[in-house]
Amino acid sequence: MATGASGTLCAHRAQTGTAIRPSPSSGSTAIVVVSLVSTSGGCGRSTLVAGLADALHRRGRPVLAVDFDPANLLAQQLGAETQPAHGIATTDDWTRTALANSEGVRVVPFGILDPSALLHFEQQLVTHANWLRSRLDEAALADDTVVLVDTPRLPSPLAWHAAATADHVLTVLVAEPVAYAALDRLPTPGAARAHYVVNAFEPQRTVQQDVLLLLRERLGVGLVRSVVHRDAAVAEALARNRALLDDAPYSQAAEDLQYLCSWLLRTIDEAHP
């Protein structure tokens, strides 16, 4: 996967720059923005964004993954060997920073900002509440495009901004007491837009089973009924720089990812007929 001028190619998932071109229906597109948020790092949020983007693309749904996290790692989740220097946060002409891997999955990196530039960018988001959505609208993406937005962990202003401008907010949780205690700090976008999924679930751990029951009782229908299990196949696929659905298509994680993809498509289609 190429990562721009300074990037290198990976044999398995070569990626090239692919500027986003306006669709024939430019000016009247109906995209669906889904922001993934979390209150803790290491919960697998970026991995889910990359996996869902891959799964949606395989089903023929137009999809764009957008990295809105200064860690700037989403492109690497999709095969990049180095961090892209430029992206949505570093240039007005951000559509030209888009990359596509060998499967055809498109991703827009965040880009690399020094601390002072990042602070300025965050302040800009506070001043311009619709900044992200207006940038996406400028791209004139194809109708029905699903835009998956990866974010830093809350309470980052970037995560709050992405949640506020999204059509749907999918909160990634781990079934741990600390995650349950942090529920009150999560965005409250309204029942129709708020969804939750438990990731990295370990059914052999009693505490996780107990917390899952508490989450189901508290979140009700907002919680995706099926969990995404912790599975070594995910890390192994990433180490080989291969898509999970190619590297381990019959793994538990691949099955969970396909279910989550089906749930997301159903949720989107019901909300946006």
Pairing of strands 146-150, 168-173: unpaired
Mean per-residue pLDDT pooled into runs of 10, the chain (273 residues): 33 54 52 93 92 97 96 92 91 91 93 96 93 91 94 93 94 94 76 87 97 95 95 94 95 97 95 81
Pairing of strands 32-37, 194-198: unpaired
Question: Can you give the pLDDT at residue 2?
Answer: 32
> Both ends of the chain: CA-CA distance in Å?
35
Handedness of CA 114, 241, 48, 212 (dihedral sign): negative
Q: Name residues whose C-beta falls within 8 Å of residue 3's C-beta, 6 or more positions apart in sequence.
A: 15, 75, 80, 81, 82, 83, 84, 99, 109
Instruction: Show the domains of the chain with their CATH numbers.
Output: 58-166 (3.40.50.300), 169-273 (3.40.50.300)
pTM, whole model, 2 decimals? 0.90
With beta carbons less than 8 A apart as the criterion, state whether 167 and 33 touch. yes
The count of other CB atoms within 10 Å of the CB of residue 239 is 9
Give the 3-state secondary structure of residue 24.
coil
- What is the tens place of the pLDDT at every residue in 20-74? 655 544 444 589 999 999 988 888 999 999 999 999 999 999 999 999 999 999 9
What CA dihedral angle connects 109, 14, 44 and 169, to 10 degrees? Answer: 50
Q: Crossing angle, helix 252-271 and helix 232-239, to 10 degrees? A: 90
- Rounded to the nearest 5°, which phi and psi values hold at 21? -105, 145
Q: Select from 255, 241, 43 the least CA-distant residue to 150.
A: 43
Give the 3-state secondary structure of residue 127.
helix
What are the structure tokens assigned to 271, written together?
């909300």
